[in-house]
Every structure is written in C-alpha cells, then in structure tokens.
C-alpha cells in the first residue's frame, strides 16, 4: 500500500500503527521521527521502525503518521507540509480534530494529501514499550475529512480495514463535541477523583482500601499526563461544557440523596443501568 512510512512520535499509537502496518504487509520500510532519543532506540530495538532520522528527511516517505501530543500537531504539520514530496499522504491521529484542521487547512499544498483521523484504540499505558499491533482490531477508526471523501481518504479507510478496524466518517467539529463526553470527560473525572482520594490518603492512610469499583473507574488516570494536558486545552470549550453538565447531573443526584427522594433516585439509577446494558449488548453484537 505504501513504500516508505514515517512515524512522527513513536509512542503507543504511532508505534502500534507501525506494527500493524508491518504485520499486515502494508509497507516496505518504516522510519521513526521523535524528539525523544530513548523512544527511538526502543522502537528500533523492538522492530517498530527500521531506522530513524531527522525530521528534515521526512521527504523520504510517501506516507506519514503524526502521532504526537495534540498541541504540537499543528506546528509539525505546517513544517512537514513544506518538506513532503509530491503525492505524499499525511495523517494525524490526535483525539481532537477541529483545532488542528482549522489551523492547518489553509497551509496544505495542493500536491500532497492530508487526512485527519482518530483511531479509538488507546490504553492507559504509553510509550513505544506499550505498542501493540492488535489494538486496532474491532476498534473504530474515525476519519474527519477536511472537505470531502476523496481518493486519499478512501485509501486511509482501506488501510484501517486492513488492520481490522471499523471505519466511521465524521465531521471534525461534531467529532470534538462527541468525544468531549465519551473520552475527554471520563479522563477528567478519573484524574480528579484520584487527586481527591490522594489528598485524603496523604492525611490518613486508612484511605488504602481500593476496591474493584475504584480501580475500574480510575484505570485511565494512568494515561500520559502530557498527552491529556494537551487534549484538555485543545478541546477546551467542549470539555468545559461537558464538565458543567456533569456537575449539574451530580448536583441532581446529590439533592435526591440529601432530600431522601428514594423513588426518584432509584429511577435515575435504573435508567443509567438499562442504558449501560444497552451499550454492552451493542458492543457484544459488533464484536
């Protein structure tokens, strides 16, 4: 599918996509680009990449994946747009799309293809050590075209299918609204809860009985803090709205408990349980 692939940011997603492409024979050579020399050394030793190079050599590649924290994506794209050869395709895999697309769309040369994407395939571990060729299997691979679905977008969709992902096409502004609730808000809640419990734990070691509910809820707080710092700021307006709505919902729950409204509280809990069961059934049917 591609001759030479460049991975800018050889961490979890960039490294995993490199491994998935290699395993499915979708490329010949993979070159890594990263400011972290340790990441490059690990990626080379573990077979994620065949070699690494300075970003000035990005023109060697006919397909480039930008997999860095989202606040750095715009500057990286603008730079490599000037270095890529004619006919090249570049994607970014950040979980925020609007703030990137709106800032780069007027800088895209007419001789290259830029396709914004978001593979929904992360996990709480990070770095090239966590790279896994199979994390894309049965995961959604969202494409948010700058304009319309053209040849390049269809080629990326074919790549996603080849690594066993499920392709979805979405407007990039709509994407950021949806994922402020389904991804960004849950991470904010997990970080906040861990910080709250840690405050109590530092004062009283009795706060050590971490049951399954707590561990399940806060699992994602082990995610890369630099990546999530960028996401929270890049999708700021949508995330703040989602947090405000969650605070309203939590206040509603608080008042039901405070006022002893057992019937209304039970109804609210049941409604949530039934929706969760519906989600589980849909996920099971899609597996």
pLDDT tens track for 121-153: 876 678 898 899 999 999 999 999 999 899 999
Global pTM value: 0.89
Domains of the chain in sequence order:
2-171 (3.40.50.720), 174-286 (1.10.3660.10)
pLDDT on residue 233 = 97
Rounded Cα distance, 84 and 99, in Å: 22
pLDDT grade for 90, boundaries at 50, 70 and 90: very high
Cα 247 from chain centroid (whole Å): 25
Distance CA 171, CA 173 (A): 6
Rounded to 5 degrees, φ, ψ at 144 are: -120, 85
Task: Name every residue whose Cβ is closer than 8 Å to that of residue 172 and which is 6 or more positions away in sequence.
Answer: 97, 98, 101, 116, 144, 145, 146
In what helix (H) or strand (E) does residue 10 lie, and over which residues does it extend?
A: none
Q: Six-digit token pair at 99?
A: 């703030």
User: What residues contact 61, with CB distance under 8 A and at least 6 apart?
Assistant: 4, 5, 6, 31, 84, 88
C-alpha to C-alpha distance for 4 and 2, rounded to whole angstroms: 6
Q: Report the distance separating Cα 50 and Cα 119, nearest Å.
A: 23
Q: Which two tokens stand for residue 134?
A: 């199979």
pLDDT higher than threshold 80 for residue 214: yes
Determine phi and psi for 127, rounding to 5 degrees: 90, 165
Residue 150 is predicted with a pLDDT of 92
Q: Are 235 and 180 in contact (CB under 8 A)?
A: yes
Indicate if the pLDDT at residue 286 is higher than 80: no
């Amino acid at each position: 599918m591609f001759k030479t692939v460049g991975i800018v940011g050889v961490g979890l997603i960039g490294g995993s996509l490199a491994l998935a492409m290699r395993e499915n024979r979708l490329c010949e050579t993979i070159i890594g680009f990263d400011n972290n020399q340790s990441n490059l050394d690990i990626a080379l030793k573990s077979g994620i990449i065949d070699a690494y190079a300075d970003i000035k050599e990005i023109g060697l590649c006919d397909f480039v994946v930008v997999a860095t924290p989202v606040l750095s994506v715009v500057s990286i794209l603008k730079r490599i747009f000037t270095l890529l050869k004619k006919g090249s395709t570049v994607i970014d895999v950040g979980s925020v799309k609007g703030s990137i697309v709106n800032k780069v769309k007027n800088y895209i040369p007419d001789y290259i293809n830029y396709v914004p994407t978001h593979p929904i395939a992360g996990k709480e571990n990070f770095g090239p050590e966590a790279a896994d060729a199979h994390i894309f299997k049965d995961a959604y691979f969202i494409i948010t075209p700058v304009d319309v679905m053209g040849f390049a977008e269809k080629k990326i969709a074919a790549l996603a299918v080849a690594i066993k992902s499920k392709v979805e096409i979405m407007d990039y502004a709509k994407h950021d609204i949806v994922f402020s609730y389904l991804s960004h808000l849950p991470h904010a809640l997990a970080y906040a809860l861990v910080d709250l419990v840690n405050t109590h734990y530092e004062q009283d070691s009795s706060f050590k009985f971490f049951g399954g509910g707590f561990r399940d809820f806060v699992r994602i707080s082990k995610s890369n803090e630099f990546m999530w710092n960028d996401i929270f700021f890049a999708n700021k307006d949508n995330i703040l709205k989602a947090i405000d709505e969650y605070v309203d919902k939590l206040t509603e729950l608080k008042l039901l408990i405070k006022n002893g409204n057992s019937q209304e509280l039970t109804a609210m809990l049941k409604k949530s349980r039934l929706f969760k069961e519906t989600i589980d059934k849909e996920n099971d049917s899609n597996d």
